[in-house]
Amino acid sequence: MTITSLDELKSHLNLTEKELHWEEKAENTLPLLISQNILSLIDNPSIRRQFVPSEEENIDTIGNLDPLKEEDNSVSSRLIHRYPNRAAFLTTDRCFAYCRHCFRRRFTGTMTGPASEAEIAEAAAYLKEHKEIKEVLLTGGDLMTLSDEKLDYLLHSFKSAREDIIYRLCTRALVSSPERFTPEFFKMLEKHNHHAPFFLMTQFNHAIEITEKAIDALIGFVKLGIPMMNQCVLLRGVNDTLDQQIELCNKLMYNRIKPYYLFQGDLVKGTAHLRVPLSKGLALEKEMRKHLSGLSMPQYTIDLPSGGGKVILTENYLVSRDRNLWTFKTPDGEERSYPEDF
Ligand SMILES: *Cc1c(COP(=O)(O)O)cnc(C)c1O
Ligand code: SF4
């Protein structure tokens, strides 16, 4: 069962005043959509906060709908070429469930639909021209809402234009619709699993999202030798405690997923109530680093407003720099120096 309105949701949950007063407005385009798998987890407050809309989305006046200036960096209707060596292709605006923190809400769930054959051909031609592009993120929306036939067509078109590009398969369907990863899907993917490698980019924001069904689907990628990386969004009241982050990172590692990024929330209109202050995020990062191995520690990252690009945030260990001496503090708070010249 899929939930598409507050009325339907009322029969499953006792909605709070703030949830009841949410209004779907043009200004705030993200629709209400909760999949069967999300519904089965909705009693968990971290899941509820990510998928049940609240009035707070409507009253947020900070930010805008495109803080990363993706529209200015779009080279075709679907291709964003922000960094010289990599690009993002918006395969579709659809998802199996809409996350209330979605930073691409200017596009997500706008009923634009899957990329047309003409749009795919246009992007493929651009990739062919631009040999400096080494990686393409297949994103959206959620790539996995496309049918196997459409995915097959897309991969065939792109791989025929350039076989040396690494494709990142960006999806949240392991959380919102793990049953989508059928044997037929993997058979289709296997056909294209040659030349440059695929990378699976997941978005697990909380350990509870890594269900048995999700783990079964992940095995399909492991069997194809596809490396897996997680991009988590730091969200207030969802995953902003040390315990939650440690449990998530350890569970990811046990399932062969490398925690890649921990994203600071973007200044997207309608998401202020889900953001964590930078000082709190940095304090969390400092503690996480003490409790996690280098492999299991994600990079805390901010995508700077007005299209400034991604910058890594970390506790500052540099105390001072004289002409010939750098002085650092250790994670335990002691000082150590290292020379500039030898
Ligand atoms: C984040 C992003 C990428 C990928 O950046 P990495 O740091 O390599 O993960 C590529 N294109 C766009 C538009 C992005 O926002
Ligand atoms: S799955 Fe991704 S694109 Fe879709 S609503 Fe969630 S964050 Fe946005």
Rounded to the nearest whole angstrom, what is the distance from the C-alpha of residue 85 to the centroid of ligand 1? 10
Structural domain harbouring 169: 6-312
Q: Is 172 in the pocket of ligand 2 (CB under 6 A)?
A: yes
Instruction: Specify if 332 maps to a domain.
Output: no
Catalytic residue list contains 266: yes
> CATH number for the domain including 22?
3.20.20.70
Instruction: Specify if 246 maps to a domain.
Output: yes
Instruction: Specify if 319 maps to a domain.
Output: no
Instruction: Specify if 207 maps to a domain.
Output: yes
Instruction: Specify if 333 maps to a domain.
Output: no
Rounded to the nearest whole angstrom, what is the distance from the C-alpha of residue 54 to the centroid of ligand 2? 17
Instruction: Specify if 42 maps to a domain.
Output: yes
State how many domains the chain has.
1
Measured distance CA(169)–CA(139) in Å, rounded? 7
The whole-model pTM stands at 0.97
Strands 257-263 and 228-233: parallel
Protein residues with CB under 6 Å of any ligand 1 atom: 80, 82-83, 86, 88, 137, 310
For residue 137, which amino acid is it? Answer: L
Quick check: 171 and 141 in contact, CB under 8 A?
no
Annotate 126-182 with DSSP letters as a single string.
HHHH-TT--EEEEESS-GGGS-HHHHHHHHHHHHHH-SSPEEEEEE-HHHH-GGG--
Instruction: Specify if 329 maps to a domain.
Output: no
Quick check: 25 and 167 in contact, CB under 8 A?
no
Measured distance CA(83)–CA(184) in Å, rounded? 34
Q: Is 102 in the pocket of ligand 2 (CB under 6 A)?
A: yes
Q: Which residues contact 67 (CB under 8 A, 6 or more apart)?
A: 103, 266, 267, 268, 303, 305, 306, 307
Nearest to 275 by CA among 326, 237, 324, 225: 237
Rounded to the nearest whole angstrom, what is the distance from the C-alpha of residue 341 to the centroid of ligand 1? 36
Ligand lying closest to the C-alpha of residue 33: 2
Catalytic residue list contains 82: yes
**How many CB atoms lie under 10 A from the CB of residue 92?**
23
Q: What is the residue-level pLDDT of the chain in tens, covering all 342 positions?
A: 899 999 999 999 999 999 999 998 767 779 999 999 999 999 999 999 999 999 999 988 788 889 999 999 999 989 999 999 999 999 999 999 999 999 999 999 998 999 999 999 999 999 999 999 999 999 999 999 999 999 999 999 999 999 999 999 999 999 999 999 999 999 999 999 999 999 999 999 999 999 999 999 999 999 999 999 999 999 999 999 999 999 999 999 999 999 999 999 999 999 999 999 999 999 999 999 999 999 999 999 999 999 999 999 999 999 999 999 999 999 989 999 999 998
Measured distance CA(70)–CA(74) in Å, rounded? 6
